[in-house]
Amino acid sequence: MSGAEPLVPMADLAGRWGITSNTVSRRLSFLGIKPIRQGNFRFITPEQLELASEVNVIAAVSVRKWGFSGLCGGGGRLSFAAGGLPSAADAR
């Protein structure tokens, strides 16, 4: 794998995003991201991290603004308390 971008350990994402490791796995699965396994460890690519980070921002804003918790481990419901889809711009 020389010259390839370094892989990002999934174990680091829970702490980085302030969520449980189980929620990290659910969000990645929701996005269709399959981690790369190396022994007992799972990794994602930097491109996958970028996509997942954008979704994480949207999920965090949704919880704060609209009470939506479907992507955040709240039972997987796909409903919004106040309607409308949040965007990454709402985090700013």
Per-residue pLDDT band for 76 (boundaries 50, 70, 90) equals very low
Total number of domains constituting the chain: 1
pLDDT at 35: 95
- Domain span at residue 16 reads 8-91
CA distance 30 to 24: 10
Write the pLDDT tens digit of every residue in 18-30.
Answer: 889 998 998 899 8
Assigned domain for 3 exists: no
pLDDT at 54: 86
Exposed e or buried b for every residue in 1-28, given b needs 16+ CB within 10 A? eeeeeebbebeebeeebebeeebbbbbb
Write the pLDDT tens digit of every residue in 34-72.
Answer: 999 999 999 999 999 999 988 888 777 766 666 655 544
Assigned domain for 41 exists: yes
Assigned domain for 1 exists: no
